Structure 1
């Protein structure tokens, strides 16, 4: 089992540099099986959300793992189905926990035009001990500036789509976060391989992978780590999960990073790349609402 490095957050806590995400894991017992497998392989950071409608199944896997509470790092997110005070209690009940390690606002849109007011409630959740760390997801620079203007607690994390094909567009929020002590968490880091194969990244990814005796997906995850970001990823295959953990041991050269940045900048515009992810988010939201209302699809 590979030991996972951790990054120190601005509140003094530490977050594992790679997480197993349950967004695409679906629902029901299969989620428990997938999380069980991830924990068995060596993941100790599990990322879920109210929106995904699989917190309860995730909680079953956590309990079945036999790991003590301080051996596992749990992230979940406020997705706006209920008020935030009820939502955190629901999430804790579903997960079978007394606190989560990290609680995120899933989107700035959930603030309904008043980000400072929602963040104040997040600060209370932290003060009450229901979350050790609090942060945001899908926030851009202006959203963060609005939040920080009256914040008593700086977000620990901003979870965003982050890979070489969107790096130019996400560079500003990544850099701003770094200035403010906010760690970037990367979701959909493998899109250049899983949804956009055949692009400019293929050549440098394959070249670097061959030199390092690694795979292209491992190189992408190593790129995320090189940018100082945390990875949230998923696979149903045990061997791939093992490979993802091994990727955290890879060290890219400055030339490698420059080659990937340059190739990524040649890809299509950000909006075109984001469209499939936005569509998936809409589908996921619809599915979540239907499940929440006990409506079969």
Structure 2
């Protein structure tokens, strides 16, 4: 199995693995084992969030891994209730304490929460964390083009990453084009649409052709589009399988077949209404 994970360079020069491990909906008491399995398989990027309630589990796995901190890329996210300048700074300290780390590599505003209208003040706190060297990169999650435009127009820092729901059923072409025009990396959460598209004929045919699983085909699609991707699993075999996506390549015709699956299908909330 080839596990040489490529990296992308963020807009501030920081290198980020293109394939990482997500822990959404993994209970804290199961997170240690899942992240340990991922690190043993070869993952070096771990994505968590304050609201997941499992930062301590991630921290335990990192502490016991024996892997040098500089060889890991750790992302966490600020929850909506902690938006605002001072609240965000306090929330970051709380996340670091739970993770048992002195910094995270990427800190994200989890949702724009437009009704709160606090993401600009929150971003100023993020800029301070970056300027003080307490995070290596800052970004956002679930921001729409209008949210991004407002953030960029009112600050001196373009987000390094926007982590969004993205899979063949929700391809977010307009948003990805905005990212490309502004030097923002696109990171996909729910990259497999919670399995909803893995039985599609277009996917299964490609999988059969390459001797791969449908999930591996979809993850390969993400990588060839240039997306950063963070599949989640608690099953060691599947954790390893999701990493084994570098020994084959999809053809232009196969990419077109997957592009035809776009149907605006969300598995999660609408960023314009979640607050």
Return the TM-score normalized by structure 1.
0.85
Q: CA deviation at 1:197?
A: 5.3
* Counterparts in 2 of 1:111 and 1:185: CA distance versus 1, 3 Å: farther
Tell whether 2:112 aligns with 1:105.
no
In the other structure, the counterpart of 1:236 is 234
Deviations 1:161-198 (A, max 9, x none): 1011111xx1111110011000110011111x623555
- Contact 1:111–1:118 (CA under 8 A) maintained in structure 2: no
More helix by share: 1
Q: What secondary structure sits across from 2:75 in the alignment?
A: strand
In the other structure, the counterpart of 2:216 is 218
- Contact 2:192–2:198 (CA under 8 A) maintained in structure 1: no
* Counterparts in 2 of 1:249 and 1:13: CA distance versus 1, 3 Å: farther
Distance 1:78 1:211 in 2: 42
Alignment match of 1:96 (pick from 84, 89, 100):
100
Distance 2:88 2:23 in 1: 21
Distance 1:115 1:124 in 2: 14
Distance 1:197 1:234 in 2: 15
Alignment match of 1:155 (pick from 159, 173, 186):
159
Deviations 1:34-68 (A, max 9, x none): 11111111111000000101101110100000000
Tell whether 2:268 aligns with 1:277.
yes
Using the TM superposition, name which of 239-248 and 214-223 deviates more: 239-248
In the other structure, the counterpart of 2:148 is 144
In the other structure, the counterpart of 1:18 is 19
Q: How does 1:1-297 map to 2 (within 5 A)?
A: 2-28=3-29, 30-82=30-82, 83-109=87-113, 112-167=116-171, 170-191=172-193, 194-196=195-197, 198=199, 202-262=200-260, 264-265=261-262, 267=263, 270=264, 273-274=265-266, 276-278=267-269
Using the TM superposition, name which of 8-17 and 243-252 deviates more: 243-252
In the other structure, the counterpart of 1:295 is none
* Counterparts in 2 of 1:147 and 1:233: CA distance versus 1, 3 Å: same
Count of aligned pairs:
266
Return the TM-score normalized by structure 2.
0.92
- Contact 2:18–2:229 (CA under 8 A) maintained in structure 1: yes
Distance 1:125 1:51 in 2: 20
Structure 1 unaligned runs (5+)? 280-284, 286-297
Q: What secondary structure sits across from 1:75 in the alignment?
A: strand
Q: What secondary structure sits across from 1:165 in the alignment?
A: coil
Q: What secondary structure sits across from 2:170 in the alignment?
A: helix
- Contact 1:225–1:248 (CA under 8 A) maintained in structure 2: no
Q: What secondary structure sits across from 1:184 in the alignment?
A: strand
Q: What secondary structure sits across from 1:98 in the alignment?
A: coil
Q: CA deviation at 1:112?
A: 2.0
Distance 1:210 1:110 in 2: 44
Structure 2 unaligned runs (5+)? none
Aligned CA RMSD, in angstroms, stands at: 1.8
